[in-house]
Structure 1
Amino acid sequence: MMDRSFDPNTHFEAVANCARDAIIILSADSTIQYANPAVESIFGYEPENVIGESISVLLSEDDAETLLERFDQYLTTGDRSTDWGDIRLQGVCRSGETIPLSISLSDFTRDETTYFSGIFRDVSEQQRREIRLTELNRLAQDLTNAESFQDICQRTVDAAQAIFDHPIASIELYDADDGQLVPCAWTSDVDGLSDEEQLFASERSVPWNAFVTQERTLIPDLESEPDVERDETPLRSVYVQPLGSYGVFVAGATETNAFDESTVDSANILVGNAYSSLERVDREESLREQRDQLADKTASIDRVRRINTVIRDLTKALTQASSRKEILSEVCTRLAASEPYQFAWFGSVDQTDAEIVSQATSGGENGFLDEFEGTDNDGFDHGLIDRVVDTRSPQVQNSIYQDPPFEPWRQAAIERGYRATIGVPVVHQDTFYGVINLYAAEEDVFEQMEVTVLKELGETIGYALNADERKQAFTSDRSVELAFEVTNFGESLLGLGLDSDGSFELENLVERRDGTVTMFFTADEPEPDDILEWLSNQPQVLDSRLVTDRTDDRLFESRLERSTIWAQLLQRGSIVCEAQASGDSARLVIRIPRSADPRSYDALLEEWFDDVELVARREFDEPVMAPEEFEAELHDRLTERQEEVLETAYYAGYFEWPRETDSKELAETLGIAQPTMSRHLRSSEQKFLSMLYDDT
């Protein structure tokens, strides 16, 4: 009997009314006390028609008894012998149709009376998916035993007949000789629709278009399709999915709108399994046909193993090399001694006169470099090296004999027995040092695996060259100061005052651990807000702030990308002594080790500034960084982070009075928490003072 005292609260009603699952509240005798609107969409009954009725109106008789027995057992013993979170029972709709249900039950007490609340979910679609997935899994297992295209196609359409509600399916494979799709396998229903096992009369219809475009095609109503003639197919809806270069899978129906999203998803899995098996059989056939190439593959693996061994030994040698010359010599010598390489050389690019300069060679060169090392005004004579320089990526020519007429360098290579070559960029971060060019006596030597290994080697060499530059900057007892005049600023910060008759003057650069650079500079024009807005629009500027705002001293701080010219100069061990810009001209002064090549810095600047002229060169009998003993000792005592914090704090005006930067702003500049910044600063100050006042 219905309990008239039951009154669901307003919040529950709001939730229940928008639920897609049926929510039903039962009394202990299984009488329905409440039903939400979803009962109608699932069972066909309006809620008021089932309230007061037994739950048996919505369940089969046996399942209703089962549910009542569970209620009685729970009320008597308090024991839930089974999971109440997913009870599977058969529901009965108003139409008499049975549907599978998943029921989640819970109990609650109101006015000392026990009720049971349940969520009744129609899992018909879920069961259909489970059946489809079971069949798809069976097909996947079966296809592992298929040994031919015909076998794969037949098993696939058989599975389609079992999975889909519309058992019309076929697979058409591409015949490269005739240039058309040919039926390979089809379900029995196709025989009753077509005499030639083809679902479309035209050879260039829907399946062909899907194949040539490699796009899945779903047409819910073929009669409304303008490109399909009415007598071309007995189908009214169709789904076509390409099988890569092998052909297409076609599923059809004689009624419109036959393929819902779930069916399409199942078809995608089905075709994916078939495609994988076609690929497998294709590979196996190819392997059977290519057994004579196994020796070549084995040789390739052995070669990579050898090159890996060479690289390991070479990496160890690079860490012990004492100069750039020794680094490059070790690289070329060890590579040229590793089969099947015959010749290795390293070339750097002198942008001043557009010339490739050989700096190290090893192997059977026989005058090879003389054939193309010179250049004319049109650029380099070696096309492959050109491409490495332009793209900063490895370039491979696995058959120098291919595609005549031959460039001069290829003619020279062929005469010396070279058959394949690779150019590998030598880079560190954004600094390009040059190209390692290898030649082999066999074709097809440089496969992808080997190219990847050699690319990593180029990065390792770049790191070693950069480390040598930095070491020379610290240890060289002589240095060179280079002064440049710049009249085309490009995207550099030197152009800050170009449109306002203002000036730019560098105060200091601080290299951060992540490779970015903090720049401190002064500028008198335009107004500070205009300068900050200009800086925010520069792609190489990460963030900026005004440190001090005085009439004669406006100090700004900007954090720059690691790819900027300023970062690259610091990475190569140089010091930027001066950078001033006013109007449309600028002066840039850098200090480099005596052992460094000034032309490489000139070329680096020309990459950034189109119009650069070296106007002065001075030599000094002192190191680039000329540290006093005290400074060197302090550097040894401080960690990298402590030194970065101390240097940034100094140049940001943290120690000025009044302070030009407070601790919060300094922490934000460094990208660390304020307590962390304070701890690093106190530690560095303590180490500095201990050197002044302690005996040690």
Structure 2
Amino acid sequence: MATGDALAAAALETLPITVAVLDGDGEILLTNRAWREFEADETTADHVGHNYVATAAMDADDDEHAKRAVEGLESVLEGDRDAFSMEYPCHSPDEKRWFMMRAGRFTVDGAVRVTVIHLDITDRKLAEIAAEESAEQVREEHRALEHVLERVDGLVREVTDAAVGAGSRDEIERRVCRRLADTDPYVLAWIGRVDVTTRRISPREWAGRDDVPLEDDDLVLDSDETHPAVRALEAGEPYVIQDLAAFEDADRWWPTGADDHYRSVAAIPLTYGDVTYGVLALFAADPDVFDERELPILESLAETVSTALNAIEARRMLTTETVVELEATIEDPSLFVAELADALSSTVIYRGLTYDEGGTPLAFFRVETADPDRAVDAAADLEAVEAASVLTEYEDSVVLELALGNGIVTALADHGAVIQRLDADDRVLDLALELPNGQAARSAYDLLDERYDRVELRSYHETDQPTRTPRDLQSTIETKLTDRQQAALRKAYYADYFDWPRGVSGEELAESMNVSRSTFHQHLRAAQRKLLEELFAGDPTSEA
């Protein structure tokens, strides 16, 4: 069996780290294979019998790391410390390398001995350097972001003040464009509106260089899909061209990429909820301006402008007495009214709309058919219809009550539309809507155009209303009637309960509401009383 010294020496040879053992004077007594192979790769092997400390001291004057190594080794040899370690670079012509040297003191039979180990820490150092570079990059990006925020902070305040402080839509657009065009690096800003009937984007306000025109012609949605303003409105999200000089279609609209004054452009839709007020086009003199830091700021500004436009529009609605009337023809077999007309080979006439106590839309349609059961079955088979029943029967037609899911009727209501006509004949739908403003009208029309195959806008115009409009009366009544009272009144009206002879009995209407006959009449009489009170309000002959 090998002696202890022989076993230790043999084990030392197998270690993958470089190891040397020094005597009390710093002379090398023993090295392992890893040490010898490494030294042989670098210079003439410096092994047993050489003084390791003296050799390192030769480089101490010119090498800070060698100086530290000598001082540390001497302190261990002299007994001032038991161990010493340091990290140092040892680069070769082909690669970067780092090592950690560790010296440890021990004794053998009273004689001082020191082990010197060199451990390759290159992978760790490279990882640390990469982490530091990454951290520095983060710090640089943070500094750049702080600069951007500092630059735009004033812009945000100014644009917000301009938007909120303006008294009209034209003034908002004008002041916002001027603020943006006066802010580096932007050189031109314009805001365009969309005409519902012509589908044209018309730049209404702009600010920038005075020696150039704005746009030679109006832009038409769907006709020039290369224009960033068109793309932004069609997609409903910002569209950016970072370098107009490299954009081959830029010469199709002004300003072109060939003009050095305009190198990048961003177009941002101005939307509030489902209503689109237009589009903001912003040009910069340099390429790559609208990056991931710049664009969110502009989107936030666009939201501020849209909110201000909405507030102006809401104020205008409260002080004016106009509504938008829109009529359209829709050809699409998937629309449930057209489906019903096709299934029954009949004309379907819209009568009205109400909601049950759970908020489900209840639409009423008169269908020309002598077979009520067939009409109910055909309606119940429609995907958009949750339930169908006959409200009134006539000799050659029926009034159907259809409980609808979240379809086109609720979507139009969300856009502020009041359905005046929703009739179908031979798979063609005749639609008439009343909307509170032009933005709501465009939004509703876009909704129809996106959902259905063929939508033709037949008419669009604003209509003056009398001082007290039917809509005013309806809104007032709806606030006074309970849901049950309103449902009873609407059902009775749509089912021709007030005609003579009556088209339906009170018992039948009560059954459709799942209430007793007496309860139905109680709801109906209460609704009628409130209706008459509102109708005769202010009449000196009426009771208070």
2:409 is equivalent to residue 561 of structure 1: no
- Structure 1 partner of 2:381: 533
Q: 1:501 aligns with which of 334, 340, 345?
A: 345
Shift in Å, 1:447: 3.6
User: Does the Cα contact within 8 Å between 1:472 and 1:595 map onto a contact in 2?
Assistant: no
* RMSD value, Cα: 5.1
Q: Structure 2 counterpart of 1:390, which letter? A: E
2:509 is equivalent to residue 660 of structure 1: yes
Q: Structure 2 counterpart of 1:313, which letter? A: D
- Structure 2 partner of 1:81: none
- Structure 1 partner of 2:489: 650
Shift in Å, 1:522: 0.9
Shift in Å, 1:556: 2.1
Q: Structure 2 counterpart of 1:660, which letter? A: L
Q: Structure 2 counterpart of 1:285, which letter? A: E
Distance 1:370 1:556, change over 3 A: same
Shift in Å, 1:314: 5.1
Q: 2:233 aligns with which of 362, 372, 389?
A: 389
Partner SS, residue 431 of structure 2:
strand
2:283 is equivalent to residue 439 of structure 1: yes
User: Does the Cα contact within 8 Å between 1:398 and 1:421 map onto a contact in 2?
Assistant: yes
- Structure 2 partner of 1:332: 177
**What per-residue deviation string (whole Å, max 9, x for no partner) do you get for residues 129-152 of structure 1?**
xxxxxxxxxxxxxxxxxxxxxxxx
User: Does the Cα contact within 8 Å between 2:323 and 2:463 map onto a contact in 1?
Assistant: yes
Q: 2:393 aligns with which of 550, 559, 565?
A: 550
Distance 1:503 1:421, change over 3 A: same
User: Does the Cα contact within 8 Å between 1:356 and 1:380 map onto a contact in 2?
Assistant: no
Q: 2:419 aligns with which of 547, 572, 576?
A: 576
Quick one: distance in 2 between partners of 1:296 and 1:622?
A: 56
User: Does the Cα contact within 8 Å between 2:352 and 2:365 map onto a contact in 1?
Assistant: no
Distance 1:505 1:365, change over 3 A: farther
After TM superposition, the score normalised by the length of structure 2 is 0.55
Distance 1:400 1:469, change over 3 A: same
Q: 2:429 aligns with which of 564, 571, 586?
A: 586
Distance 1:650 1:336, change over 3 A: farther
Q: Structure 2 counterpart of 1:305, which letter? A: D
Quick one: distance in 1 between partners of 2:282 and 2:236?
A: 16
Distance 1:661 1:303, change over 3 A: farther
Quick one: distance in 2 between partners of 1:574 and 1:690?
A: 27
2:227 is equivalent to residue 379 of structure 1: no
Shift in Å, 1:497: 1.4
Alignment of 1:333-372 (within 5 A): 333-350=178-195, 355-364=200-209, 366-367=211-212, 369-370=214-215
Distance 1:492 1:343, change over 3 A: farther
Which ranges in structure 2 are unaligned for 5 or more consecutive residues?
1-33, 35-124, 498-504, 516-522
Shift in Å, 1:520: 1.4
- Structure 1 partner of 2:6: none
Partner SS, residue 498 of structure 1:
helix
Q: 2:145 aligns with which of 287, 297, 303?
A: 297
User: Does the Cα contact within 8 Å between 2:415 and 2:440 map onto a contact in 1?
Assistant: no
**What per-residue deviation string (whole Å, max 9, x for no partner) do you get for residues 433-483 of structure 1?**
432222233444334354334335545555555566666566533556444
Quick one: distance in 2 between partners of 1:321 and 1:505?
A: 44
Distance 1:420 1:316, change over 3 A: same
2:342 is equivalent to residue 484 of structure 1: no
Distance 1:625 1:663, change over 3 A: farther
Q: Structure 2 counterpart of 1:651, which letter? A: R
Distance 1:411 1:590, change over 3 A: closer
Decide which structure has the larger Cα Rg and report it: 2
Q: Structure 2 counterpart of 1:484, which letter? A: A
**What per-residue deviation string (whole Å, max 9, x for no partner) do you get for residues 636-655 of structure 1?**
x65xxx67665445334599
- Structure 2 partner of 1:423: 267
Quick one: distance in 2 between partners of 1:643 and 1:366?
A: 63
- Structure 2 partner of 1:67: none
Q: Structure 2 counterpart of 1:384, which letter? A: P
Quick one: distance in 2 between partners of 1:629 and 1:352?
A: 28
User: Does the Cα contact within 8 Å between 2:323 and 2:437 map onto a contact in 1?
Assistant: yes
Distance 1:371 1:647, change over 3 A: same
Quick one: distance in 2 between partners of 1:682 and 1:340?
A: 68
User: Does the Cα contact within 8 Å between 1:300 and 1:445 map onto a contact in 2?
Assistant: no
Quick one: distance in 2 between partners of 1:512 and 1:422?
A: 47
Q: Structure 1 counterpart of 2:259, which letter? A: E
Partner SS, residue 364 of structure 1:
coil
Partner SS, residue 496 of structure 1:
helix
Distance 1:643 1:371, change over 3 A: farther
- Structure 1 partner of 2:133: 285
Quick one: distance in 2 between partners of 1:574 and 1:624?
A: 21
Quick one: distance in 2 between partners of 1:517 and 1:457?
A: 38
Shift in Å, 1:581: 0.9
